[in-house]
A and B are shown apart, each in its own frame.
Chain A
Amino acid sequence: MSFWTDPLKVAADWLMSILTGWGMPEIAAQVLIGFLGVLLLISILMVLDNFLVWVERKVVSRFQDRIGPNRVGPFGLIQPFADIIKLLIKEDTTPGGADKVVYNIAPMLSMMSVLILWAIVPLAPTILNVDLNIGALYIIAAGAIGTLSIIMAGWSSNNKFALIGAFRQVAVMVSFEIPMLTMLLIPTILAGSMGMNAIIEKQNIWFVWLAPLGALIFLITAIAELGRAPFDMAEGESELVAGYNTEYSGMKFGMFYAGELLHAFTYGGFWSILFFGGYRFFGLEQVSPFLAIAVLVFKAFVGYWVIMWIKYTLMRIRIDHMLAFNWKFLTPLAFTLLMVTALMNALLAGASTWLYVAGMFLSNVLLAWVALTIARSYSRRERENVEGVKNVVTSRSIP
């Protein structure tokens, strides 16, 4: 057990020997070492958050056919640090009539809900932060604190736009949790456990080949949970001013903004853990935990890139369309997919690997095709109700 294969244990043992050498009781030493480990991880995350701001601004600018920040430092890399310094020295105005306690706590809870999600992310086979065996449920539970912080922000701002934005955003987040919970059930069925590390270890074949529709629906619901476009009802820029964070300035706004980007990166990480194999890459993760961390971070960035790509390509969806899409299309589809996955998993349990993969994949594709056909015929009927039946001339009818 050298430093390169198991860094956490080596460091913890060394610190423990020093601390007990100073006469500290073992329990206190363990808690202190745990505290230091958590502090290290969260500090790294905050620095990563800075980098994510830079990535976001460069990517959005490329999508919009411009260059983005390139003045401050090489390629604009120092830009986020300049932004943080600016936010730190801004005045902290509180709107008159705002509910002071709730107003101040909301950004802290929003950032906290993102940071605690990293407790269950397995970074390497030997660097598991907390190997909770109910990891999948913990994701939803921690996300609920974020939902709470949004309604706190909107309500306490004493601003009707913030309030409406917060109501809509919470309605969307809460509604899209149902398909997300259902999609979390699919890796649980395929791996036989809710723990994140167990799900990664069972992915000899990535779960995206076994449940592609599940990966897609998880992505859609994750984007809705994040409150990003095309589901960004809360910060409906130019629709509701800035939604629930209208009345926030300075570092409180910075907490909301940076928290949202880190949340997006975290969900990119979860998407890759649940469906794309996490830190696994054909045995590379056994060589060294640092390589495993690199693989996971790379996959999380790919997921983050997809989330950004969708944000900067699609238009915002209207709130009633969003909720109708969820309750009338996604939820029945998600439950049908769950039933089909459970059934196919049981029917093909003893089959050879290729037959298993092909069977699951084709059942997903078939279900997606059926769902899209139903949706298309329904929308054609709606359109014909509104516009009247049009005679479509096909090439077959021309003699």
Chain B
Amino acid sequence: MSQWIYIGLFFIVGLLIPVGAIAVAWILGPKKPNPIKQSTYECGIETVGDSWVQFKAQYYIFALVFLVFDVETVFLFPWAVKLGQLGLYAVVEGIIFILILIAGLVYTWRKGMLEWA
């Protein structure tokens, strides 16, 4: 049986167990909604302003930098698997690849893209 069917079964059962638990809780629990209970929590006071606050643009920058390095590490995985059999040449090649991307990180650092402000 293919391994991926097993992983699919893990997904299904892994989803069924929390669904089952929450369904049991839904059956067993009382249901008495009232407006006070359902109001949004803000440390005991009435909410001030919109709930969906503005998305800080700095998060997008961090996601972009993450994307670049994530793709880099995905490319490094096949290199790492075969490194034992490939000798020093492949090591130097991989090091050059990593250094080019470290240069990218230094560029973003010097441009101030990694600041929180």
Contacts and interface: CB of A to CB of B under 8 A. Distances in A.
Interface of A: 27, 30-31, 34-35, 38-39, 42, 46, 87-97, 104, 107-108, 111-112, 115-116, 118-119, 129-132, 136-137, 155, 157-161, 163-164, 167, 170-171, 174-175, 177-178, 181-182, 185, 188-189, 192-194, 241, 246-247, 250-252, 254-255, 319-320, 323-324, 327-328, 331-332, 335, 338-339, 342-343, 345-347, 349
Nearest to B38: A96
Where chain B touches its partner, the secondary structure class is: helix
B10 interface: yes
B31 interface: yes
Contacts of A161: 41-42
Contacts of A241: 41, 43
Q: Chain B contact residues (Cβ within 8 angstroms of A): what range? A: 35 or more
Interface of B: 1, 3, 5-7, 9-11, 13-15, 17-19, 21-22, 24-26, 28-33, 35, 37-43, 47, 49-53, 55-56, 59, 62-63, 65-66, 69-70, 73-74, 76-77, 80-85, 87-88, 91, 94-95, 98-99, 101-102, 105, 109, 114-117
A171 B51 contact: no
A235 to B, nearest CB: 14
Contacts of A324: 114-116
Contacts of B21: 88, 251, 254-255
Nearest to A155: B52
A108, A177, A193, A338: residue with the most chain B Cβ atoms closer than 10 Å: A108
B1 A30 contact: yes
Given A88-B28, A346-B88, A331 B105 contact: yes
B80 A189 contact: yes
Contact of A159 (B26, B42, B81): B42
Contacts of B84: 189, 192, 345, 349
A328 B102 CA distance: 11
B81 A192 contact: yes
Given A96-B40, A159-B41, A161-B41, 17 more contacts: A39-B13, A92-B31, A97-B40, A108-B22, A115-B17, A119-B10, A130-B6, A131-B3, A137-B77, A159-B51, A160-B47, A178-B69, A189-B84, A320-B117, A324-B115, A339-B94, A346-B87
Contact of B51 (A39, A163, A347): A163
13 contacts: A89-B28, A95-B38, A116-B11, A171-B59, A178-B66, A178-B69, A181-B70, A185-B77, A192-B82, A193-B81, A319-B116, A342-B83, A345-B84
Contact of A171 (B9, B37, B62): B62
A107 B22 contact: yes
B77 A194 contact: yes
Contacts of A116: 7, 10-11, 14
A178 B76 CA distance: 12
Contacts of A97: 40, 51
B20 to A, nearest CB: 10
B52 A323 contact: no
B104 to A, nearest CB: 11
Contact of B39 (A95, A157, A193, A246): A95
B28 A320 contact: no
B3, B88, B115: residue with the most chain A Cβ atoms closer than 10 Å: B3
Contacts of B94: 339, 342
B29 A92 contact: yes
A347 B91 CA distance: 10
Contact of A251 (B5, B22, B88): B22
Contacts of A327: 62, 65, 105, 109, 114
A202 to B, nearest CB: 10
Given A35-B13, A167-B56, A178-B73, A108 B114 contact: no
B3, B18, B25, B56: residue with the most chain A Cβ atoms closer than 10 Å: B18
B59 A160 contact: no
B6 A38 contact: yes
A34 B9 contact: yes
B29 A89 contact: yes
A27 B2 CA distance: 11
Contacts of B87: 346
B22 A339 contact: no
Contacts of A119: 6-7, 10
The 4 A-B pairs at the shortest CB distance, nearest first, are namely A251-B25, A320-B116, A115-B14, A111-B18
A90 B77 contact: no
Contacts of B74: 137
A189 to B, nearest CB: 5
